[in-house]
Structure 1
Amino acid sequence: MAKNKTLIAVGFEGSANKIGVGVVALDGTILSNPRHTYITPPGHGFLPRETAHHHLRHVLPLLRSALDDAGITPADVDCLCYTKGPGMGAPLQVSAVAVRALSQLWGKPIVAVNHCVAHIEMGRIVTGAEDPVVLYVSGGNTQVIAYSEGRYRIFGETIDIAVGNCLDRFARVLTLSNDPSPGYNIEQLAKKGEKFIDLPYVVKGMDVSFSGILSYIEATAVEKLKNNECTPADLCYSLQETLFAMLVEITERAMAHCDTKDVLIVGGVGCNERLQEMMRIMCSERGGRLFATDDRYCVDNGAMIAYTGLLAFAHGMTTPLEESTFTQRFRTDEVQAIWREKSICGE
């Protein structure tokens, strides 16, 4: 291979109900990014064991598709990247095992990647955001983040369940379809809501709490619907407005602390158009900009793992085979982001 060849990585993401394989070049060019989602019947969540079986069935076909779509062979690959965590244990194991096997078959180095940091780096390269405050919202995580002194620092987060988990669990109460996702179907139903139902609003400093709101709306939903006091659309509308107002509040507080005007939304819930609208209004009132993407990049995907792993690889970071494990707990601020050169907060 030529010495000036662009570095290329293959990334495997499988921390929850999506298995994805992405091929990315160091300049951020996404060569391919196929994925497959494990969808359960309405009213049901996804269990680790069944989700892992789904990932096992699809990981090799996705790899073949990713290589074919990118027009590359294993010889063109410089490193193999995978999600180390956070996430669900059994699904995480599938990607870790696949990468360990391929590393030995292809003779390629491994790079373990933090799922949360990968969302941030994918959002930055796709939108062009340089140093925004980041709102990371997904089924398993809710954090307000800014880069400072070599790490992505968490300024605020959920103290119980994630915002995506809250939405997903309420979708089960209403037995909404999980195709393409429960959160998406709540969003569509919320657009038809006309009556706002008061719900608890729980912001504690820079942190938020969603479990009490979920318990309250679960307890009242059945009675209100039975008595024709509201519609399912009204409940979805009220829940979204309340949760997203809380998220906008803590994001704005972090912006004031960091003295910045730009916000980047990442994670699966970041696809929600109403959340983007509310955040955009707040940013514009502060003279700033909102950066957001669509479901190609907000939702878990292999390209975000490949790109973030490639950033680390280009700066000399690799993961020894014996350390290429996985963990359900892997905080955003544990990662030394050596590829970053400047920050907006604390420097």
Structure 2
Amino acid sequence: MVIAIGFEGSANKIGIGLVQDGKVLSNCRRTYITPPGEGFLPKETAQHHRKVVLTVLKEALEQSGIEIKDIDVVCYTKGPGMGAPLSTVAIVARTVAQLWNKPLLGVNHCIGHIEMGRLITGAKNPTVLYVSGGNTQVIAYARKRYRIFGETIDIAVGNCLDRFARVLKLSNDPSPGYNIEQAAKKGQKYLSLPYCVKGMDVSFSGILSYMEQHTEKLLKEGYTPEDLCYSLQETIFAMLVETTERALAHCGSNEVLIVGGVGCNERLQEMMGTMCKERDAKLFATDERFCIDNGVMIAHAGWEMFKSGTRMRWEDTFITQRFRTDEVETTWRDD
């Protein structure tokens, strides 16, 4: 019986969670929310994490009912992510690992999402669409690594949505992407937007630039903010479904797993579900408890690593802002 605690803080959410052999014991989280029209900056985000981290840690331990002496390994997000928030949380993880005399493991954030998705949904060997504020990748497993079949060549899909929410001055509570999703449900008129798929890769910066330059004019022409949210969602999600379908066909897979914060979007799940149905494939997705950044996904991925014999030297427990998904050898997978 291995118990792992995980610390996540790569962006504007700080999460701490505990797992015991695939069972979620606690999953506590706080989100740094900025005023409408503003994004979150590294320095202020790190300050937020420092302010609440001990409260979240106390909550996670109390909720789990686990005593510190029973924890086997401390896990933290090594990367990718924003430098200052990553460093803040890594320092806390290093400190508690020393205080508690526990081994420390740095976990790839993207791998955390994938392994958590596989655990919660029961997907065996899916083609993965990983979509969040900082990452957009189409991934499939082969030869002990998660291989990237396609990705964004500029900004992530979540970043595109968040920045458009700033244009419309939508609230950041609970998240700009969620508020765009709710507005899009009321959209009536579809606006044709730039559609940019390049082989297996996608590009969102041109669509965002178009929307930033033309929104004021479009609103005067009779389009509503809801119409624009609807049009943007339909376009960028179609791009993601296209590249995922191509990877699914190439791998001969019959499973698709959506992970990452944007994976909570019900319209994306609906569009992907339609594609899967046409290909006799099965769609797997999770709700906001596990698709939005959380500590328990880091704990679970670290648990997998620890159980398979992975250990880290103390001098290797730093952070890496650009930590690629395909850099990690998946020692815990046999297939």
Smaller-chain TM-score bracket: over 0.9
- Look up the equivalent residue of 1:183 and give its one-letter code: G
Structure 1 unaligned spans of 5+: 1-5, 343-347
| 1:341 counterpart residue number | 334
Query: Number of residues paired by the alignment?
Result: 335
| 1:279 counterpart residue number | 272
1:77-96 matches, within 5 Å, as 77-96=71-90
- C-alpha deviation, 1:228, in angstroms: 3.5
- C-alpha deviation, 1:224, in angstroms: 1.1
Question: Any idea what the Cα deviations from partners look like across 1:17-51, whole Å, max 9, x if unmatched?
Answer: 0000000012x110001000000000000000000
The match for 2:261 among 254, 268, 271 is: 268
1:177-256 matches, within 5 Å, as 177-225=171-219, 227-256=220-249
* 1:75 is aligned to 2:98: no
| 1:308 counterpart residue number | 301
Is the contact between residue 23 and residue 32 of structure 1 (CA under 8 Å) also seen in structure 2? Answer: yes
TM-score by length of structure 2 reads 0.99
- C-alpha deviation, 1:77, in angstroms: 0.2
- Give the Cα–Cα distance (whole angstroms) in 1 for the partners of residues 61 and 205 of structure 2: 42
| 2:15 counterpart residue number | 20
Question: Any idea what the Cα deviations from partners look like across 1:232-271, whole Å, max 9, x if unmatched?
Answer: 0000000000000000000000011101121000000000
Is the contact between residue 152 and residue 332 of structure 1 (CA under 8 Å) also seen in structure 2? Answer: yes
- Look up the equivalent residue of 2:3 and give its one-letter code: I
- Look up the equivalent residue of 1:217 and give its one-letter code: M
The match for 1:8 among 3, 9, 12 is: 3
- Look up the equivalent residue of 2:129 and give its one-letter code: L
- Look up the equivalent residue of 1:180 and give its one-letter code: P
Question: Which aligned runs of 4 or more in structure 1 are off by greater than 2 angstroms?
Answer: none
- Look up the equivalent residue of 1:209 and give its one-letter code: S
- Give the Cα–Cα distance (whole angstroms) in 1 for the partners of residues 318 and 53 of structure 2: 18
- Give the Cα–Cα distance (whole angstroms) in 2 for the partners of residues 207 and 129 of structure 1: 24
* 1:176 is aligned to 2:170: yes
Question: Any idea what the Cα deviations from partners look like across 1:211-235, whole Å, max 9, x if unmatched?
Answer: 000001111111111x242000000
The match for 1:66 among 55, 60, 69 is: 60
Question: Any idea what the Cα deviations from partners look like across 1:268-306, whole Å, max 9, x if unmatched?
Answer: 000000000000000000011100000000000000000
Is the contact between residue 112 and residue 318 of structure 1 (CA under 8 Å) also seen in structure 2? Answer: no
The match for 1:127 among 105, 121, 127 is: 121
The match for 1:53 among 26, 29, 47 is: 47
- Give the Cα–Cα distance (whole angstroms) in 2 for the partners of residues 108 and 261 of structure 1: 40
Specify the SS of the correspondent of 1:154: strand
* 1:294 is aligned to 2:287: yes
- Give the Cα–Cα distance (whole angstroms) in 1 for the partners of residues 275 and 178 of structure 2: 23
Is the contact between residue 81 and residue 99 of structure 1 (CA under 8 Å) also seen in structure 2? Answer: yes
- Give the Cα–Cα distance (whole angstroms) in 1 for the partners of residues 132 and 308 of structure 2: 29
- Look up the equivalent residue of 1:333 and give its one-letter code: D
Structure 2 unaligned spans of 5+: none
Is the contact between residue 135 and residue 145 of structure 1 (CA under 8 Å) also seen in structure 2? Answer: yes
- Give the Cα–Cα distance (whole angstroms) in 2 for the partners of residues 168 and 284 of structure 1: 30
Name the % identity.
67
- Look up the equivalent residue of 1:74 and give its one-letter code: I
* 1:116 is aligned to 2:148: no
Specify the SS of the correspondent of 2:290: helix
- Look up the equivalent residue of 1:70 and give its one-letter code: S
- Give the Cα–Cα distance (whole angstroms) in 1 for the partners of residues 228 and 137 of structure 2: 25
TM-score by length of structure 1 reads 0.96
| 1:151 counterpart residue number | 145
- Look up the equivalent residue of 1:16 and give its one-letter code: A
Specify the SS of the correspondent of 2:16: strand
- Look up the equivalent residue of 2:245 and give its one-letter code: E
- Give the Cα–Cα distance (whole angstroms) in 2 for the partners of residues 259 and 316 of structure 1: 31
Q: Cα RMSD (Å) of the superposition? A: 0.6
| 1:345 counterpart residue number | none
Is the contact between residue 156 and residue 206 of structure 1 (CA under 8 Å) also seen in structure 2? Answer: yes
